Amino acid sequence: MNISNSIKYVGVNDHQIDLFEGQYIVPNGMSYNSYVVLGQKIAVMDSVDKEFGDEWLQNIEKVTDGRVPDYLVVQHMEPDHSSNILRFSEKYPNAQIVASANAFTMMKNFYGNDFANNRIVVGEGDSLNLGDRVLTFITAPMVHWPEVIVTYDSADKVLFSADGFGKFGALDAEEDWACEARRYYFGIVGKYGAQVQVLLKKASALDIKTICPLHGPVLSDNLDYYLNLYNIWSSYGTESEGVVIAYTSVYGNTKKAVELLAEELKALGCPKVAVNDLARCDMAEAVEDAFRYGKIVLATTTYNGDVFPFMKQFIEHLTEHNFQNKTVGLIENGSWAPTAAKVMTAMLEKSKNITFTETNVKIMSAMTDDTVAQIKTLAKELI
């Protein structure tokens, strides 16, 4: 893949992986992206996962056409991007490793080598002169690790964005960008919205025509679309109008209440109702929906004086990723001492700008006419 006449793609597709970072389902695999900048001097941008070192080095050989790389730029130290640094250094012993100070500390921790005699430490605004072009480095701490830098090539107006603007899925998978990029963002980067906002502000000062992330496709058309979504996501705004309902149900009674609420919302003209059975759905998909829409209903049973485990796990995922700026409705079920609404409210008490609906639905074991009336009132309040 040619990014430009001077920038070549040398990454790999991984269809062997089942869980990314040990938890995220990736049915269409993952890409580990790496790029070669062919100036008068050659810079390789990042490595790939350890299982694909041979393929990566072969890709570099192919695009360099007999020339020897001068630099390996390490923007991010997660092993899926850094695990072939030693192999690169062994193959190209005269090449220098370029990274932040924190990255070199991590190299020592991960791989036992901090390249003290063969490294260039860079920080905010530092540059690397390749002769006919200059790479400028921008620090991006906690997007989503502390050592991260991104790199701007002013000659071709390319931003190498590290894990920013990444997505799940290999490059040979045909799928909607936003869906898997959103799930990737909120699962992996979402806690660090403030830091992403800082990076977006820095990027706004650059003339960018192409974004080259470490996962997912290179972005070059309609960049305003991607930048706008990242701004919404990182500011915890509402991307889509609608209501997401996340529920657990033991004997089906809470599920019936959720189904009725969904019907009422649709009848009232709600543009989208996204329903997630937390015991059966992909938890990351449910988290994605919770951040995407402006309104959410949490419906669960009281369980051992607490809430059902999948609901507890779900809310913990939300609060861990800085859940905020939402309207929340609650449905609780309990056969003798319902406490689920109280527990869920307490779990969200540290979340910013949460508005609870006036109507909380209480089910005592099974639905009644009174329950139905409460659900209809809740639906009207949400709309």
**SS3 assignment, position 276:** strand
Instruction: Please indicate, yes or no, whether residues 323 and 291 belong to a single structural domain of this protein.
Output: yes
Residues sharing a CB contact under 8 Å with residue 276, sequence separation 6 or more, in sequence order: 244, 245, 246, 247, 285, 286, 289
Under a CB-based contact definition with an 8 Å cutoff, are residues 248 and 278 in contact? yes
pLDDT bucket at 84, cuts 50 / 70 / 90: very high
Residue 253 lies in a domain: yes
CA distance 5 to 93: 27
Start-to-end Cα distance in the chain: 48
**SS3 assignment, position 99:** strand
Residues sharing a CB contact under 8 Å with residue 170, sequence separation 6 or more, in sequence order: 13, 14, 15, 28, 29, 30, 31
pLDDT bucket at 222, cuts 50 / 70 / 90: very high
Digit-coded pLDDT (tens) for 338-372 = 999 999 999 999 999 999 999 999 999 999 999 99
CA distance 146 to 137: 15
The tokens of 103 are what? 């990255």
Instruction: Please indicate, yes or no, whether residues 39 and 188 belong to a single structural domain of this protein.
Output: yes
Residue 1 lies in a domain: no
* Mean predicted confidence (pLDDT) in 367-383: 96
Say whether pLDDT at 305 is over 90.
Answer: no
Report the number of distinct structural domains present in the chain: 2
Residue 146 lies in a domain: yes
CA distance 232 to 230: 5
Instruction: Please indicate, yes or no, whether residues 215 and 262 belong to a single structural domain of this protein.
Output: no
pLDDT bucket at 337, cuts 50 / 70 / 90: confident
Residues sharing a CB contact under 8 Å with residue 371, sequence separation 6 or more, in sequence order: 257, 361, 362, 363
pLDDT bucket at 179, cuts 50 / 70 / 90: very high
Q: What is the pLDDT of residue 164?
A: 96
Under a CB-based contact definition with an 8 Å cutoff, are residues 216 and 167 in contact? yes
Residue 63 lies in a domain: yes
Residue 190 lies in a domain: yes
Instruction: Please indicate, yes or no, whether residues 280 and 192 belong to a single structural domain of this protein.
Output: no
Instruction: Please indicate, yes or no, whether residues 58 and 169 belong to a single structural domain of this protein.
Output: yes
CA distance 254 to 240: 26
The tokens of 68 are what? 């020897």
CATH number (domain holding residue 32): 3.60.15.10
Backbone torsion region of residue 348, taken as left when φ is above 0, otherwise alpha when ψ lies between -120 and 50, otherwise beta: alpha
Instruction: Please indicate, yes or no, whether residues 310 and 210 belong to a single structural domain of this protein.
Output: no
Angle at 167 between CA 62 and CA 325, to 5 degrees: 155
Instruction: Please indicate, yes or no, whether residues 23 and 103 belong to a single structural domain of this protein.
Output: yes
Q: How many residues does the chain have?
A: 383
Q: What is the pLDDT of residue 49?
A: 97
* Mean predicted confidence (pLDDT) in 51-57: 97
Say whether pLDDT at 37 is over 90.
Answer: yes
CA distance 272 to 266: 8
The label of the residue with tokens 């890709």 reads: 59
Under a CB-based contact definition with an 8 Å cutoff, are residues 151 and 160 in contact? yes
Residue 2 lies in a domain: no
CATH number (domain holding residue 274): 3.40.50.360
Residue 291 lies in a domain: yes
179, 209, 234: which is the final residue of a domain? 234
- How far CA 334 is from CA of 61, 229, 312, 342, in Å, comes to 65, 40, 16, 12
188, 215, 234: which is the final residue of a domain? 234
Say whether pLDDT at 52 is over 90.
Answer: yes
For residue 100, give its domain range. 7-234
pLDDT bucket at 14, cuts 50 / 70 / 90: very high
Q: What is the pLDDT of residue 116?
A: 94
Instruction: Please indicate, yes or no, whether residues 133 and 171 belong to a single structural domain of this protein.
Output: yes
Instruction: Please indicate, yes or no, whether residues 224 and 245 belong to a single structural domain of this protein.
Output: no
CA distance 2 to 59: 12
193, 208, 234: which is the final residue of a domain? 234
Instruction: Please indicate, yes or no, whether residues 209 and 260 belong to a single structural domain of this protein.
Output: no
Instruction: Please indicate, yes or no, whether residues 147 and 276 belong to a single structural domain of this protein.
Output: no
Instruction: Please indicate, yes or no, whether residues 127 and 102 belong to a single structural domain of this protein.
Output: yes
Q: Where are the alpha helices (DSSP H) in 14-92?
A: 53-64, 79-82, 85-91
pLDDT bucket at 1, cuts 50 / 70 / 90: confident
